[in-house]
Amino acid sequence: MSTIVTRFPPSPTGFLHIGGLRTALFSYLYARANNGKFLLRIEDTDQARNSKEATDAIIEAFKWVGMDYDGEVVYQSQRYDLYSQYVQKLLESGKAYYCYMSKEELDQLRESQRQRGETPKYDNRYRDYKGTPPKDIKPVVRIKAPLEGEISFYDGIKGDMNINAKELDDFIIARSDGSPTYNFCAAIDDALMGVTDIIRGDDHLSNTPKQIIVYEALGFKVPKFYHVPMILNPQGHKLSKRDGATNVMDYKDMGYLPHALLNFLIRLGWSHGDQEIFSIDEMLRLFNPKDINTAPSAYNQEKLLWLNSQYINKLSNNEINELLPNYGATIPSKEIQDILYSEAKERSNTLVEFANIINECLNDEINFDSKMKEKIKNDENIHILKEFLTYTNTMTKPKTIQDSENEINAFADFQGIKAKSLFMPLRYALLGKSGGVGVAVLLSILEKDQIQLRLQNAINSLC
């Protein structure tokens, strides 16, 4: 059995988005699960639109999600001489030819075909041309496509595919300036890099017969193809930036964990029973591109947030501490971590939310919520806060949530009131808003002087 070799070939004309990352993940898993090779190729032949920043971001995204690749990154821009050699080989063998048709002539031909209700395409007029080359025309090079029959291949997702040769024309493999075209470069590189299985979006389906023509003209073995249906937004339309088709590294900035994102992506078009959460080992063991759904998948932001929360819950304190500085949070003491992190996990879908909880709990400069202020601003609550401030002078600093609850109950008993009547005014004083972690948690993590400062500031804001 031959070694499975897959590849991912992004174009650095824009940042890597999640649709591309999903395709890369499928290719990566299939190769790694079969002890094969996963290759990375940067298709940077479009010098006018290429971005060094985008290239760097693609490689950075692979590093962030932990998807390693074999060998060095292949850059098409460094392989022009190689492509030229193969263009020349096809010219010499009579399988390609120079076409001297001007742009104006081609435009005129296409317009006349449209007027006749035909599909616009080149009419092969220079396919067997033996005359004198027209002056002042820099020719393109076209490959001789089959004139009859079918171009057939088996798609691992879609099944048997048959394309009538009459639907194709002699497409360009080298432009008038000598630069090679996409389909020609892709076929050459896939063949020379030993790619056996091509997993890509079904927007590339129309490129496949053209690439097969190149493979066969040069005597290369045709690889296996898997064309993956697109990711659509919840309304069934093409994914936009607003829906989630954004730079992969933006997901890091938004507080998503890389394995949560990979878990989310593998479930877009593939499943294993009712299982939702997959470790990388499980993905490697269970994934097969033959099991990819034939229908498009819908992007579900709520599902991504839920998955991310599950992965955050599994993080150790040390793992969280490595990540928090990226989101503007200061790492608290171990004693605080042991109490606060579990509470923050329960309330966080992203690391940004987690960091915000840490900051709002530990920052003594509280912005009191105006609506809550109006709600609790009465003599009874002011009296409770003043009495509790006095009580803290004799209160033993709580070290656990249970200690805090005991102190709250003891104070309520002393005041002859119900404990639940304390929570709103204390929450206002300690956190400044109605939501967030519990009052007992705050009393457990704050020092006595912090508690007293917040109580006094709250009293001042109400008086």
DSSP reduced 3-state for 3: coil
Report the half-sphere exposure of 164 (CA within 13 A, side-chain side): 2
Tokens of 308: 């991310």
Q: What pLDDT is stored for residue 245 in this prediction?
A: 65
Phi, then psi, of 388 in degrees rounded to 5: -70, -35
The DSSP-derived string for 133-160 is PPTT---EEEE---SSSEEEEEETTTEE
Annotated binding site for ATP: 241
Cα→Cα distances 420→287, 331, 369, Å? 52, 32, 20
Q: What pLDDT is stored for residue 1 in this prediction?
A: 63
Q: Which of 65, 18, 64, 68 is nearest to 38 (CA)?
A: 68
CA 349/CA 347 separation, integer angstroms: 7
- H or E element at residue 164: strand 159-164
What Rg do the C-alpha atoms of the chain give, in angstroms?
A: 32
CA 276/CA 461 separation, integer angstroms: 48
CA 351/CA 309 separation, integer angstroms: 9
CA 51/CA 47 separation, integer angstroms: 9
Q: How deeply is 311 buried, as exposed, middle or buried, from its count of CB atoms within 10 A (0-12, 13-18, 19+)?
A: middle
Q: Which of 69, 67, 77, 65 is nearest to 12 (CA)?
A: 77
What is the set of domains in the chain, with CATH numbers? 80-182 (3.90.800.10), 315-362 (no CATH), 364-463 (1.10.10.350)
CA 134/CA 154 separation, integer angstroms: 42
Q: What is the pTM of this model?
A: 0.91
Annotated binding site: 241
Q: Are strands 74-75 and 37-42 parallel, antiparallel or unpaired?
A: parallel
Q: Could you state, in chain order, the average pLDDT of each consecutive group of 10 residues for the chain (463 residues)?
A: 92 89 97 97 85 89 96 95 98 96 88 89 92 89 96 96 94 94 97 98 96 98 97 85 80 96 96 95 96 94 97 97 95 95 96 96 91 92 94 89 93 90 94 92 94 94 88
